[in-house]
Every structure is written in C-alpha cells, then in structure tokens.
Amino acid sequence: MTRAAVRRDVRERLAQTVRGSVGVDVATRALYTMDASNYRHDPLAVVLPRDAEDVAAAVAVAREFGVPVTARGGGTSVAGNAIGPGVVLDFSRHLTGIVEVDPERGTATVEPGVVLDDLRAAAGAHGLTFGPDPSTHSRCTVGGMLGNDACGSHSVRWGRTSHNVEALDVLLYDGTRMRVGPDGPALGGAARERAVYRELHALARENLATLRTGFPPVERRVSGYALDALLPENGFDVARSLVGTEGTCVTVLSATVRLVPVPAAKALLVLGFPDDVAAAEAVPAVLPLRPQTVEGMDARLLRLATGSGAAAAAHLPDGGAWLFVEVAGESAGEAAENAAAIAASVGTRGAVVTDPGLQRLLWRAREEGAGVATRAADGREAWPGWEDAAVPPDRLASYLREFRALLAAHGLTGITFGHFGEGCIHTRIDVDLVGPGGAAGFRRFVTDAADLVVAHGGSLSGEHGDGQARSELLGRMYPPEMIALFERFKSIWDPDDGMNPGVIVRPRPLDEDLRFVPPVGPLPVRFGYPHDGGDFRQAVRRCVGVGKCREAHPSSDSDVMCPSFRATREEKDSTRGRARVLLEMVNGDVVEEGWRSPEVRDALDLCLSCKGCRSDCPVGVDMATYKSEFLHQHYRGRVRPAAHYSMGHLPTLARLAALAPGPVNSVARSGLLGPLVRRLGGIAEERRLPAFAPTTFARWFRSRQADAGSRPEVLLWPDTFTNHFSPQVGRAATEVLEAAGFAVRLPAGRVCCGLTWLSTGQLDTASRIARRTQRILAPVVEAGLPVVVLEPSCAAALRVDLPELLSDEASRHLADRVLTLAEFLDTEAGHWDPPQHGGQAVRQVHCHQHAVLGSDADERVLARLAVDTVTLASGCCGLAGNFGFERGHYEVSMAIGEHVLLPAVRAASPDTLVLADGFSCRTQIIQGAGRQALHLAEVAAGRLYSFC
C-alpha cells in the first residue's frame, strides 16, 4: 500500500474515532514537519486530541495500521524529539488543564499540554511554584518537560523535572493505561501492568552493578534512560525512570508534580569576568553558598541582541562574560546581603539587582540567548545539534578551553551560555548544513565533541534530550551492556517499537533527515533581504522554532508578537507556523506549488503584518515582509481579492473621494448602498467605514497664511490617513511645530510611502510610487530637512520597507531623515517649553512603532507635557490597517482587541486621555470601546490651547 493510501485510510479511521481535529492535508503537515531542531519528518497525520480518550483512540488507530506515534507539546525541542513520520499528537491545543493544586501536599496534577507559566501562575496563588524552569517557560508544556527531563536556570536549586515528579498516568502503544509512581502496580491491575513491573524489577535486580557504576557522576545527566531510578536505594521509582524517555516508551496523559515554596525575596548578582572560561573557574566557589541560579553568558550574545538584550547591556558590569547568580532571603535586604557576600567571596566586580523589573529584563536577555545565537556577528547562520552538553562543574573551565580549541580545529565558531552551576553549556555553531559536504562535517565535529565530553566525565545532553541529534552517539558515552539495557527497557514498555522510533534506542543517523535543502538555483524576489544576503530561503530559515510567538500572554509590557496566535491558539496562526509553511514551500516537498500554493496563502491570511516578530522574535523573523513578498508573487498576472483593490488603492480612492466627501460618506453609510459598497470592496459587513473629512489637511494647510521668517524648516508628511480622515491631527502637529519655533512645509508634490500597496503585496505599484516620492523629495533630502511623519505605519514604511524594497541609496537617505513627531520634539525642540497638562492617560503603542521606531521619545515628550501615562501591555490593536476591515477577519480582529486594549480603554475613567498615534488603533478604539483616542499632536496642541 502506498503512503498516500495509508494516509487516506488512517485519516478515515481517525475521523471516525477521534473527536479532536485530524489533519493530513498539506498545510497541517507542513506545520508539523519540524520542531526547533535541525531535523524534519513529514508526518502521516496530525491529531489534536481533546482528552485522554481521544489520545487512546488515536494510538489505537496508529497501532491498527502499524504506524508510529510521536507526542508533541510546544514543539520547542532542539534535538528532534517532537517530530516523526507517523501520527503526531499535539497536546498543546486542548489538553491544557490544571486538574488540581494541593497546597497541603505541595503537589499539582496537570494535563500534558499545560504551559509551564500557567502551572506556575496557579501554584503561585498558594505561594508555590514548579522548580524546573527552562528559558521557554512561557510556551513549553509540562508534557514536553517530562519527555526531555527539562531543567532550566533554577535546577541548581530544585533539580531536573525527574526530581519533581510524583506520579504519571501513562498510555502504552498496546492501549494499556496505568498509573506509575512510588508504589507498585495497582491491586487488581491488568496483567500487562503487572508484567511491566515484574520485568522492570528483574532488569534492576539482574544488573545492580551496571546500574550503580555505569552512569557518569554529573547532575545534568539527561542522555539515555534513567535506569538508576529503578535501584532499590532510589526507591524503584518507575515514574522517574520514564521522565526523559522522549516519548519512546509511553504517552503521558497526566502528571502529578511536586511544588516548592517561592522564596520570600530574591536578589540577582551579576558578576563580570574577562571571558567564559574565567566565569567557569569561579563556579566552584559560588556553589557552596546555596545560590538559586548560576547562569553564564558570553558578552557576544548581547552584542547580537536587540530589544531586551540590548536594553539589558546598560545594567551589566564590564566584562566579556557574566555569571547571573540569584540569591534568596527572607527579605530583600537579606537577599541583597547574601548576594554581596557571594560577590566578596568570588572577588570580582559585580552588580546586585533587587528591582524586580530590572531582574526580569536581565533574565529575559539571558533566556533569549538560544534565538540570538542563531546568527553570528558576520551574519552567518548557526545551528543546534551540540547545544547542551554537561560536565561536572569543577571540570567546566577546562572543558571550555578544550571545546574552544575543538571548534577552531574544525574551523567553527560558537557563542557559549547556559547553566554554569551544573556544567551545562549551550551553544549554536556556525556549521554549514546547507552546502555540499556540510552534513559530513557536522558528523565529524559532533563525534569529536562527544568524545571530549565523555573524557570530562560528562553527559552528551544536559537538558534537551538525545533525539535524533545525539542518540547515535550514546555508544560513545555508555558501554555496550548499558546500551543493551536501554533496549531492554524500551522493549518492556514498547515491544512493537511504535513510540517515537529512532530515538535513544536503535537510533536514526544524526546526519539524515536534515531540514536543510540545498538551493537548486536563485529564487527571484522583489525585496532585498539585506540581513539575509538577499536570499529569501535564508530569510525564512531564520525561524529556528524556539516558539516565542506562541506565548499566549506577553512576556513583557511591550511584546506584540503574535496577535493572531493569542486570538486563536492555533499553530498555523503563529509566526513559527507561517515560517514553517514558507520553508516547506521553498523546499518544494510537502508544499509543491511554490508561490502559487493556496495552502501558503491561507496560512498567511490571518497574519496582521504587525511587524511584531521583526522586533520580538529572538531571530528577527519579519513575517510582514514575507507575506508582502508572497502576495506579490502569488497574484502576479492574476485577479486579486476585492480588498486588495479597495484598500490597497486607498490613497487613490481617497483623493477621488475628496472631490465630494459628503456624498461619498452618505453612500458608504446608507442602509441601502453601504452593504453593497462593503461587499464589492471585500470589506467585513460588521465594520463601519471611517468618514472622509470635509476638508483635507493639505487643503487647510495651503489655505492658511504662515510667515516662515528665519525659523528652521521642517517637512511635515501628509499621509493618507492624516490628510483624508484625521486632518485635525495634521493641524495640531502644525501648530505644535510652529509653537516650538519651526517653519512647517509640505511636500511640493503628491507623495506616498506606498504602505497600502506594500501590505497587499502590490510591489510593482509600491515601487513606482516610492520612486516618484523620491524624486519629489530629493531637494528636501539634499537640504537635510527633517521629515516628520505622524502615522507610525507610514514612518516605518519609509524607514525600513522602502529601503529594503528598492535597495538604493535614495531610499536610505530618505529613511535617515524620517522622524516621528515625538522623536523630532525630543531631539530638535529642546528649547520648546510647553505648559504643563497635569492629566492622566492610557497609551496604545502602534505595532510598527514598537517594531521599527521605538517609543522612548514619546514617553519623554509626554513627561515634558506632565501627562501621567500608563502604556498598555496590549500588543496589536487588532485592526492593523486593512486587516481588520477585510471580509472574514472581523472576529479575529476584535478578539485581538479584546485581549487587553479594549477592556483597558473601557475601564479608564472619563477624564483619562486615551492616546494612540495610529489611525488603525484610534479606529479600533472608537468602534470597539466607544472612546475617542487622541494623537500625541492633539494632546500637545490641546494642552497649549485648552482643547482637552
């Protein structure tokens, strides 16, 4: 039977027996071909089970057809443990329940798809937490942590996941369901359950010497199976022996885990060292002082970082590497004293951080290391595959010296960071996995690296598991008799080899199934992709799967990515999901129709082009640009959706509407013709169309009398939204700039940034309009005049989109002149002495401003205006230009707005100002919350002239 026929039959049987969704289509399979590793498998089917009964039904179907099963949580595995060629079970969509938190016993019972941060939040209500905390804690699942025996920064204090497990409810491939823990089989348990315990006892009893001496003495020993948990002195702990088996033995249906008390107070000591070796040399002196964490980080990581990483650099002591040592205490003062004592004992420069907000900033910089390290300083790509080896802490410094030498011998580089307190080192290495001979070079390097780790008494994996990346190397770490015991253990649970085969036992080769497809030729594209060597393939390869876009709640007050995922919780609506589908498109295997693929088009449909990923993704994925490129290529020579014409050509239509705005508004809002206008324009029936202004801003400006005198000039950009819909914003900006002592000019001709054509992928038109704008503004740019842009999305287009589309000096010179109003007032109007407003405000930051422009200047200007401002941690407003107006997007658009923004606006008191510089944001707020939001220009002018 062909694979296609098996897929068809399996889908039919799954559809008959499983209540959750079942996917065998191209788009679904493309989403699940990869995790965060170097590997790729095309799954036969993907199941999102709704409950344990669904899981059992899906596994039964897999067994019926003799196909393997792979369990998946957040899909953040970097070793290839969460992908497979059979039935993939994604627990993260529905099996997310916290069944019970028992503060008396200090335990919690959870389903496998629950996100770690959600468990910690529930436990935190009782003053408790779950000790292990991987850097992916905001999106990794407890099931995945059980599979990998995950650790995290605090494992130096609380141990690995296996040290914090009480009991597991598991399902075997043959359909047996059993609960394992510190006790034996349940009285009256099934014969299969009793047989499992009998065989496990025999394995341990017959191999006591091997189990007592065959494991390296390193706390972070994650490689292989934890058979020593079956020793009598370790309590014959079957649950613990199953943690870290990477889905190769059982499927976990629920887990009871142990919780630990949250420290009363914490201080973070950051110690600076010349390099990572010097930092490692200090670790043995720190460990006896009972720290909560001892994390190491190479300074080169921050030099590559943006966002949180770059902001954190200012708060770190000088050095080429740092140790992050967290210390607990009964009070903040005691914690700070304990931290100071450690600093004194180490005898190096350090900083003690007690402010919780600053601690979070510094920790976030450390946690994003895995993503940041995927690009070397010169732009070369770096990959996992040897990213979490562990050695005894007292051997760490010597190991790092030899590891550096090994990298150099292979002509490679890598930046180190990780859990220095337990000798676990993370690194991404710039091995060439794309070009010819790359896989062979990768094999040679990891083989030598494995021998180096073993020579230092370490473990090939200290956190992420073996997966396909390291399973083949276990024979270099363990003697043959231990490998034989691993096989015996696996066969006790899974004699049919149906559970995640090819991992740990009978491994697949580490240099096969790589996700990198050598390019067969250049891929003609319109954008320049300057950060990826002009290569669209390399651009979409930026996504390494760390999954930060899958955070259901922002991990900081400023995160935007990914609004559509927060609304739907579907993998296809995450930045990672879209990147995976695009990568499959350029690879040409699962997605075979290239730019014409309807599956890719549909995967990109709910992308808001908010650009949040450009700044929030640790590797700088820019899905808005990728979507624009795809739409351009997809619709070349084809009829486009109606919304591309109505909203893509908005600047042209707005100029026509300006000839008779009153009648146009009447038609658009009439009960008879309004629905027809929306239907013909591809606009959501639920949306009210914004009214065109009776007089455009440009017309008002040119009708006024203004004496420039000898004042310095500034060019004010008349964007479509300001000019035709919100001319009061332009008038207010003019008044503020003139009050600040500047002469305001408008462009001498019709200019446009091309935003609406960019967002709908009409790149030929966008390029033509942009070049016309360049010609008109050439004298302005040459004269060095600042160009103040009031609409954040237009400013972002001028600053980054057009230079990347046109790839010429003229667009870059124009970009250099572009400023927001806040940036201009902050940097050029220091002499401006505005009267004090004294009011309160809540503020929505436009996504493009967050991603490209920044908003620090706005905060400083608002402070000068004496406006007490709360910036909402709301992410995208949900309207996002044309997105929220397009037919089929209304529900998602409003769901995004209801996440934080709209409830916060409704909760604001009537005398609290609502600030939003983006026209889309203001429109969403008025339509969704009934409040009129103001642009910064209006607040400044209103304060000057008592408008507010």
Residue with tokens 């991992």: 503
Would you state the pLDDT for residue 186? 63
pLDDT at 521 over 90: no
Query: Of the given ranges (695-709, 791-805, 913-927), which has the lowest mean pLDDT?
Result: 695-709
- Of 242, 261, 280, which residue is a domain's last? 261
Q: Does residue 855 share a domain with residue 820?
A: no
CATH number for the domain including 199?
A: 3.30.465.10
Note whether residue 396 is domain-resident. no
What share of the chain has pLDDT > 70, as a percent? Answer: 97
The whole-number average pLDDT for the span 259-280 is: 96
End-to-end CA distance of the chain: 74
Would you state the pLDDT for residue 875? 85
Q: Does residue 104 share a domain with residue 55?
A: no
Split at pLDDT 50, 70, 90, the class of 557 is low
Split at pLDDT 50, 70, 90, the class of 244 is very high
Judge contact between 727 and 941, C-beta under 8 A: no
Note whether residue 821 is domain-resident. yes
| Cα gap 243→241, rounded to integer Å | 6
Would you state the pLDDT for residue 929? 97
pLDDT at 943 over 60: no
Residue 942, classed as helix, strand or coil, is helix
Q: Does residue 298 share a domain with residue 236?
A: no
Split at pLDDT 50, 70, 90, the class of 308 is low
pLDDT, tens digit, 9 for 90 and up, residues 192-237: 999 999 999 999 999 999 999 999 999 999 999 999 999 999 999 9
The whole-number average pLDDT for the span 42-49 is: 97
Note whether residue 408 is domain-resident. no
Residue with tokens 């025996």: 149
Split at pLDDT 50, 70, 90, the class of 187 is low
Q: Report the number of distinct structural domains present in the chain.
A: 6
Judge contact between 221 and 485, C-beta under 8 A: no
Residue 19 belongs to domain spanning: 3-90
Split at pLDDT 50, 70, 90, the class of 839 is confident
Q: What is the pTM of this model?
A: 0.94
Would you state the pLDDT for residue 836? 82
Contacts (Cβ under 8 Å, ≥6 apart) of 522: none
- Of 90, 112, 128, which residue is a domain's last? 90
Would you state the pLDDT for residue 708? 67
Q: Does residue 281 share a domain with residue 202?
A: no
pLDDT at 374 over 80: no
Q: Does residue 807 share a domain with residue 775?
A: yes
Judge contact between 525 and 586, C-beta under 8 A: no
Highest mean pLDDT among 314-328, 445-459, 697-711: 445-459
User: At residue 718, what is the residue type?
Assistant: P
The whole-number average pLDDT for the span 240-261 is: 98
Q: Distance between alpha carbon 377 and the CA centroid of its chain, in Å?
A: 21
pLDDT, tens digit, 9 for 90 and up, residues 49-65: 999 999 999 999 999 99
- Mean pLDDT rounded to a whole number for the chain: 94
Strand partners, 141: 115
Contacts (Cβ under 8 Å, ≥6 apart) of 329: 263, 264, 265, 266, 267, 335, 336, 337, 338
Judge contact between 145 and 116, C-beta under 8 A: yes
Core vs surface per residue 281-317: b (16+ CB within 10 A) or e: bbbeebbeeebbbbbbbbbbbbebbebbbebbeeebe
Judge contact between 424 and 388, C-beta under 8 A: yes
Would you state the pLDDT for residue 185? 74
Q: Distance between alpha carbon 645 and the CA centroid of its chain, in Å?
A: 33
pLDDT at 706 over 80: no
Question: What stretch of H or E contains 403?
Answer: helix 396-409
Highest mean pLDDT among 346-355, 514-523, 710-719: 710-719
CA angle 36-570-603, nearest 5°?
Answer: 85
Would you state the pLDDT for residue 10? 93
Note whether residue 873 is domain-resident. yes
**For residue 923, which of 880, 864, 888 has the smallest C-alpha distance?**
880
CATH number for the domain including 334?
A: 3.30.70.2190
Residue 916: φ, ψ to 5°: -160, 115
Q: Does residue 236 share a domain with residue 218?
A: yes
Judge contact between 496 and 174, C-beta under 8 A: yes
Q: Does residue 762 share a domain with residue 701?
A: yes
Note whether residue 402 is domain-resident. no
DSSP class of residue 767? Answer: H
Judge contact between 46 and 90, C-beta under 8 A: yes
Note whether residue 381 is domain-resident. no
What would the two tokens of residue 481 be? 């008799």
pLDDT at 519 over 80: no
Query: Of the given ranges (102-106, 195-199, 309-313, 941-945), which has the lowest mean pLDDT?
Result: 941-945
Would you state the pLDDT for residue 268? 95
The whole-number average pLDDT for the span 659-674 is: 94
Using a 10 angstrom Cβ sphere, with 0-12 exposed, 13-18 middle and 19 or more buried, the burial of residue 195 is middle
The whole-number average pLDDT for the span 408-422 is: 94
Residues in the chain: 948
Which strands form 713-717's sheet, in the order they lie side by side?
743-745, 713-717, 787-789, 818-820
Q: Does residue 250 share a domain with residue 363?
A: no
pLDDT at 654 over 70: yes
The whole-number average pLDDT for the span 266-294 is: 96
Contacts (Cβ under 8 Å, ≥6 apart) of 405: none
Q: Does residue 614 share a domain with residue 721?
A: no
Please, what sign has the CA dihedral across residues 816, 820, 821, 826?
negative
Strand partners, 129: 260
The whole-number average pLDDT for the span 314-335 is: 92
432 vs 622, higher pLDDT: 622
Note whether residue 766 is domain-resident. yes
- Concatenated DSSP letters for 684-741? -TTPPPPPPPSS-HHHHHHHS----TTPPEEEEE--HHHHHT-HHHHHHHHHHHHHTT
Q: Does residue 213 share a domain with residue 110?
A: yes
Note whether residue 653 is domain-resident. no
Q: Does residue 313 share a domain with residue 215?
A: no
Would you state the pLDDT for residue 96? 98
Would you state the pLDDT for residue 556? 61
The whole-number average pLDDT for the span 906-935 is: 96
Q: Does residue 272 share a domain with residue 243?
A: no
Would you state the pLDDT for residue 948? 35
Judge contact between 70 and 138, C-beta under 8 A: no
- Of 244, 261, 278, which residue is a domain's last? 261
pLDDT at 947 over 60: no
Residue 391, classed as helix, strand or coil, is coil
Would you state the pLDDT for residue 85? 97
